[in-house]
Amino acid sequence: MTYDVVVIGGGPAGLAAAVSAKKAGADVLLLEREGSLGGILKQCIHDGFGLMRFKKKLSGPEYAERFIEEVKELQIPVGLWTFVTKIKKNPEGFSVWMVSREGVSELQTRTLVLATGCRERTARQVSIHGTRPAGIYTAGTAQHFTNLQGEMPGKRCVILGSGDIGLIMARRLKLEGADVLGVYEVKPEPSGLTRNMVQCLDDFQIPLYLSETVTRVFGEKRLEGVEICKVDEQMQPVAGTEQRIDCDTLILSVGLIPENEIAENLQVHIDPKTKGPVCDSSAMTSIPGVFSCGNAFHVNDLVDYVSESGELAGASAARYAKIQSVGVAQIPAEAEGEAAYVVPQCVRQEDVRGKVTFYFRCKRTLGRSELVVKTGSRVIQKKTFSAVRPPEMERIIVDLLKTEEIREPIVFELREVGA
Ligand SMILES: Cc1cc2nc3c(=O)[nH]c(=O)nc-3n(C[C@H](O)[C@H](O)[C@H](O)COP(=O)(O)OP(=O)(O)OC[C@H]3O[C@@H](n4cnc5c(N)ncnc54)[C@H](O)[C@@H]3O)c2cc1C
């Protein structure tokens, strides 16, 4: 079996990639380790998905269904319950090994799209002391229990971390009758989208405590309580501020990490800032023929952007499968000033005469700010923002068509400009 494009991961990024590769005329296969398509959207039963793309407030499953229908209409073959375990480069492309209900098998493909999503950070990664009782879950696991299995994770819940999934779970647990005692955030400002702060906490009178964290858990078999502490400016617990809260459940919403074992095994360059592959403006990684999109590339806050990146990766993989051209030298894109990172990390020469979509995050919350896109001393484009916050990813389409030849890096400099 030889394909033009094999897409790994059937979440919104992988679905969009498979559809766009197929529409570009490629022979595509979509592989998903779970029993149905949709990725994490399957368990996101709240609304708010697709506002940009469909101008509608869809639930996660409704959003995914629109792409799943397209996959069916285009008759794209899908391998469910199929876990890709290993990939090796070969002269024509790649050998892919996978485990499915039929056993271990191997196939060949000219290109790969990695759309493996991200995973949640766990209690081990945030160093909480104490015993190891039941009742401590990541927000995604609690979401899976509540929304897909119909089981409540507990009755008296403390949420650690104000990331979006934690905020959404705070509201969900309250709606299902649990006491949600509060959301505790170690940083001095919330980590979630403003709309989720309002709709999930304020509307349900769930308190948010900033610069506070969980330092210890109590209980042998089942969680009985947690110790909360205030933290100083270095985010270190302040002695004497310890306070015990009785609860049976601790929900962790302490960050997402792109899932990239396959990319790492292929020796794809990983960006230490995003924890995802370094990609060019065609979504190609440092290994020619390997493309990355969605949360595997970098953690996105809106699914609309995830689908957009999947579409780019799928179309680019289909094109590469036909022409096998890597292109010539690439122009780096660099974040400066208050910009924390910018992706894609470089622009292909052939895209230098067109429009390229970039995404960036800021380092800290700023008021009115200006992004200046420049190369050397030449300003390419400017954009003003009324405010920027690290949880909210920003997008800018840069029109490189207007510029003369670019030889130096494209720099994205973000500065606060005041009222
Ligand atoms: C727990 C959790 C809850 C979230 N809740 C919300 C929310 O409520 N609202 C919101 O706007 N955003 C939410 N997000 C953000 C969400 O991840 C993105 O909006 C988007 O769904 C990411 O799409 P994706 O396709 O990149 O990844 P995913 O949706 O995670 O899809 C990745 C897919 O790849 C598959 N896969 C991974 N490795 C392999 C392999 N080796 N072989 C085969 N298949 C593989 C996985 O099974 C999965 O189906 C949540 C994220 C997480 C992690």
Sign of the CA dihedral 190, 193, 197, 198?
Answer: positive
From the CB of 168, is ligand 1 less than 6 Å away? yes
Which atom of ligand 1 lies nearest, measured to the CA of 12? 25
Report pLDDT digits (tens) over 282-291: 999 999 999 9
Please state, in angstroms and rounded to a whole number, the distance separating the CA atoms of residues 57 and 42: 16
Which atom of ligand 1 lies nearest, measured to the CA of 165? 5
Please state, in angstroms and rounded to a whole number, the distance separating the CA atoms of residues 271 and 279: 9
- Residue 358 contacts by C-beta under 8 Å, 6 or more apart in sequence? 333, 342, 343, 344, 395, 396, 397, 398, 412
Given a cut of 70, whether residue 33 has pLDDT beyond it is yes
337 — phi, psi (to 5°)? 65, -125
- What's this model's pTM, rounded to 2 decimal places? 0.94
Which atom of ligand 1 lies nearest, measured to the CA of 262? 41
**CA dist 334 to 22, 359, 374, 410, Å?**
33, 12, 10, 6
Please state, in angstroms and rounded to a whole number, the distance separating the CA atoms of residues 416 and 363: 12
Pocket test for ligand 1, best of 116, 173, 266, 312 (most atoms within 8 A of CB): 116
Residue 258 alpha carbon to ligand 1 centre in Å: 10
Please state, in angstroms and rounded to a whole number, the distance separating the CA atoms of residues 313 and 13: 9
Please state, in angstroms and rounded to a whole number, the distance separating the CA atoms of residues 132 and 254: 18
Residue 327 alpha carbon to ligand 1 centre in Å: 31
**CA dist 186 to 285, 294, 390, Å?**
34, 27, 15
Given a cut of 80, whether residue 56 has pLDDT beyond it is yes
From the CB of 18, is ligand 1 less than 6 Å away? no
The whole-number average pLDDT for the span 260-274 is 95
From the CB of 142, is ligand 1 less than 6 Å away? no
Report pLDDT digits (tens) over 5-27: 999 999 999 999 999 999 999 99
The whole-number average pLDDT for the span 234-254 is 95
Residue 118 alpha carbon to ligand 1 centre in Å: 6
| Structure confidence at residue 301 as a pLDDT band (50, 70, 90) | confident
pLDDT for position 418: 77
From the CB of 313, is ligand 1 less than 6 Å away? no
pLDDT for position 119: 93
The whole-number average pLDDT for the span 249-275 is 94
- Asked if domains 1-119+256-326 and 122-254 share a fold, the reply is yes
| Structure confidence at residue 159 as a pLDDT band (50, 70, 90) | very high
Residue 240: exposed, middle, or buried by beta-carbon count in 10 A (0-12, 13-18, 19+)?
Answer: exposed
Residue 305 alpha carbon to ligand 1 centre in Å: 13
Residue of the CA atom closest to atom 49 of ligand 1: 39
From the CB of 118, is ligand 1 less than 6 Å away? yes
Q: Which two tokens stand for residue 48?
A: 């708010």
Residue of the CA atom closest to atom 1 of ligand 1: 140
Given a cut of 90, whether residue 300 has pLDDT beyond it is yes
The whole-number average pLDDT for the span 288-309 is 96
Query: Where exactly are the structural domains of the chain?
Result: 1-119+256-326, 122-254, 329-419
- CATH T-level fold of 329-419: Immunoglobulin-like (2.60.40)
pLDDT for position 213: 95
Range 122-254 has CATH code 3.90.920.10: no
Rg (CA), the chain: 22
pLDDT for position 324: 73
Pocket test for ligand 1, best of 20, 31, 40, 53 (most atoms within 8 A of CB): 40
Please state, in angstroms and rounded to a whole number, the distance separating the CA atoms of residues 156 and 358: 42
Given a cut of 70, whether residue 334 has pLDDT beyond it is yes
% pLDDT > 70, the chain: 97
Instruction: Find out whether 137 and 272 touch, Cβ atoms under 8 Å.
Output: no
pLDDT for position 125: 63
pLDDT for position 183: 97
From the CB of 224, is ligand 1 less than 6 Å away? no
**CA dist 296 to 115, 228, 256, 416, Å?**
6, 33, 10, 30
Which atom of ligand 1 lies nearest, measured to the CA of 37? 49
Q: Which residue has the higher pLDDT, 48 or 79?
A: 79
- CATH T-level fold of 1-119+256-326: FAD/NAD(P)-binding domain (3.50.50)
From the CB of 312, is ligand 1 less than 6 Å away? no
From the CB of 303, is ligand 1 less than 6 Å away? yes
Report pLDDT digits (tens) over 168-206: 999 999 999 999 999 999 999 998 888 899 999 999 999
pLDDT for position 252: 94
From the CB of 117, is ligand 1 less than 6 Å away? yes
Instruction: Find out whether 249 and 154 touch, Cβ atoms under 8 Å.
Output: yes
Task: Report the candidate in 300, 303, 279 with the shortest Cα–Cα distance to residue 291.
Answer: 279
Residue 214 alpha carbon to ligand 1 centre in Å: 27
Cβ count within 10 A of residue 108: 14
Report pLDDT digits (tens) over 363-376: 999 999 999 999 98
